[in-house]
Amino acid sequence: MREKSSMTTRRGFLETICGSLSGLGLSHLLMRDGLLANASAASKTSGSTWVPGIGQTHFPAKAKRVLQIYCPGAASHIDLWDYKPELFARSGQPLPGEENLVSFQGKNGNLMAPPWEFVPCGQTGKRISSLLPHMASHVDDIAFIHSMKAKTNTHGPGCVLMNTGHVQEGFPSAGAWLSYALGSENDNLPTFVALPDLRGEPPNGKANWSNGFLPAKHQAVVMAAHLDIRNLKRPASMSADEEAATREYLKQLNEQHLEKNSSETVLAARIAAYELAARMQISAPEVSDLASESMQTHEAYGTTSENKLLAAYAKNCLLSRRLLERGVRFVNLYCASRASGVDGLLNWDAHKTLKADYERHAPVFDQPTAALLTDLKQRGLLEDTLVLWTTEFGRMPTHQANTTGRDHNPDAFTVWMMGAGVKGGTVYGATDDFGRRSVTNPTNVWEFYATVLHLMGFDYQRLSWYHNGFDRKITDVHGRIIREVMS
């Protein structure tokens, strides 16, 4: 006599259904994290079967998330990071070979030394400005790139170039590319977050964190400690059950509408955004709850400073750490904002009064940024977090005629990296004796992002999106990995 199949019993039926649903749930989680092996694939990191958006990389990655700190206004390399003894020694003399130089805003005067000393720091003895006493403790962990060059000397296009690899608007930002490539690590928080400064958005605003031609869901979600998250609470007149039922009905309508308009990526992104917003009703208040941090942490960051700009930026730094440790893939943190009617007031664009401007901006940047880096290191997050410091271009070693400020200099500036996969204490490239031009291993934004993508486990030549007849990349048609800064 044949044994009765368990599927014919009520108990067996329920066991099978529950097991199947659990398997589906587990499969989703494994797929999201890139851990579900493809039956025909040799391995997830072989590159032959790479699929975007599920946590896979082309090859094993050094880093799994990025913190990009951006100082709008072209923060001066020769006043912050790039020590030039000859600039001090020959201050007041004409710039050799460019005595009658006319730059972005007009005629230049003579060479002008930084108003501050450069002090040796750490075991490497790397000199940085005395304006940055807190950042001095991190020089041994930083790889400085002193030979950057830009394609433009204008702030808006320069910011967009540094964030997207292209001068024109309409291209995806670095965070959008990594959102597309990796997907979410936390279903209840955005994949890509931009934190603008209390003083406002950077030049060219939202183009700096745009999705460009990638699906709209890859643009950054804007959050900041000083910005309220709107529409977060359920109306008092609606019960939790009513809200859940409304969401379920709305989901059905959205799915039906999307099925009829499957090519509309903006529509899909809007639906995904609403669903994320619903989940963020729980997660966003928790991640934004800076009051849960210890007083020692607040004091280290400077969130209680009497300097309102410092306190606001410090809160954004603390929020950045909380986002990173909860699985946000890319955090774009800004220190300063747009240009204003008074040069150097709202950002690092010190055309006329360099000393006064930087003695206002540097303290805002120094303590909170250093505390954030220390916090990431102490928590072990630097082991798989890549930290970038960027700006759009540099400044002239001369002063502008009839001022004590510096004009724009796209021919030389500094950026740096720190954290996962980075060789700390490295100095790559060099400018000339005065910081006027990049002369040793000159590099650019495309090589910078080729290196970033490599550390994140991606071949920069393969990470692309077909648009208007071209396989578009953040490196455009350029690129080279700067292996000298890698551990």
Q: What is the pLDDT of residues 127-171, one digit of tens each?
A: 999 999 999 999 999 999 999 999 999 999 999 999 999 999 999
- In which domain, by residue range, is 413 found? 65-225+290-473
Q: How big is the CA angle at 56 (ends 64 and 27), to the nearest 5 degrees?
A: 110
Q: Is residue 245 part of a domain?
A: no
In the predicted structure, residue 465 carries a pLDDT above the cut 70: yes
pLDDT at site 233: 62
Half-sphere exposure of 46 (CA within 13 A, CB side): 9
Higher confidence at residue 253 or residue 198?
198
Does the structure show a pLDDT above 90 at 249?
no
CA dist 349 → 10, 130, 153, 181, 388 (Å): 74, 19, 12, 34, 20
User: Which residues are CB-neighbours of 156 under 8 A, at least 6 positions away?
Assistant: 203, 204
Q: State pTM to two decimals.
A: 0.85
Q: Which of the two residues, 284 and 221, has the higher pLDDT score?
A: 221
Provide the pairing of β-strand 408-409 with 394-395. antiparallel
Q: What share of the chain is helix, strand, coil (3-state, %, to 5)?
A: 40, 15, 45
pLDDT digits (tens, 9 = 90+) for 327-350: 999 999 999 999 887 889 999 999
Helix (H) or strand (E) holding 380: none
DSSP state of 404: B
pLDDT at residue 404 greater than cutoff 90? yes
- Of the candidates 355, 423, 349, 345, which has an alpha carbon nearest to the alpha carbon of residue 391? 349
Distances (CA, A) of 274 to 32, 57, 128, 244: 20, 28, 46, 13
Asked, for residue 131, whether it belongs to a domain, the answer is: yes
Tell me whether residue 270 is in a domain: no
382 occurs within a structural domain: yes
Tell me the mean pLDDT in the region 117-125. Answer: 98
Q: Is residue 310 part of a domain?
A: yes
User: How far, CA to CA in Å, does 96 sit from each of 85, 126, 434, 438?
Assistant: 15, 27, 10, 16
Q: In 3D, which of 111, 110, 130 has the Cα closest to residue 121?
A: 130
Angle CA 384–331–448, to nearest 5: 70
CB atoms within 10 A of CB 364: 24
pLDDT interval class at 96 (50, 70, 90): very high
The answer to whether residue 5 is domain-embedded is no
Mean pLDDT of the chain: 89
Q: What is the DSSP string of 325-378?
A: HTT-SEEEEESS----SSTTSSSS--SSBHHHHHHHHHHHHHHHHHHHHHHHHH
What span, in angstroms and rounded, lies between the C-alpha atoms of 33 and 65?
A: 13
Q: Higher pLDDT residue, 420 or 32?
A: 420
| Mean pLDDT computed over 239-245 | 78
pLDDT band at residue 73 under the 50/70/90 scheme = very high
pLDDT tens digits for range 168-182: 999 999 999 999 999
Q: What is the distance, to the nearest Å, from the Cα of residue 172 to the centroid of all Cα atoms in its chain?
A: 13
Say if 284 falls within a structural domain: no
Cα–Cα distance measured from residue 41 to residue 9, given in angstroms and rounded to the nearest whole number: 39
Q: Which residues contact 301 (CB under 8 A, 6 or more apart)?
A: 314, 315, 317, 318, 367, 368, 371, 372, 375
Give the pLDDT score at 9.
60
Q: Is the pLDDT of residue 37 over 60?
A: no
Q: How many CA atoms lie within 13 A of 48 on its CB side?
A: 8
Kindly indicate the confidence band of residue 15, based on its pLDDT and cuts at 50, 70 and 90. Answer: low
Query: Based on the structure, what is the number of domains in the chain?
Result: 1
What's the CATH code of the domain at 96?
Answer: 3.40.720.10
% of the chain at pLDDT higher than 90: 74
* Dihedral angle sign, alpha carbons of residues 108, 113, 114, 118: positive
Q: Are 123 and 351 in contact (CB under 8 A)?
A: no
Tokens of residue 478, six digits: 């350029």
* Cβ neighbourhood burial of 282 (10 Å; 0-12, 13-18, 19+): exposed
Instruction: Indicate the range of 22-36, 95-109, 198-212, 448-462 predicted with least confidence.
Output: 22-36
Establish if 376 belongs to a structural domain.
Answer: yes
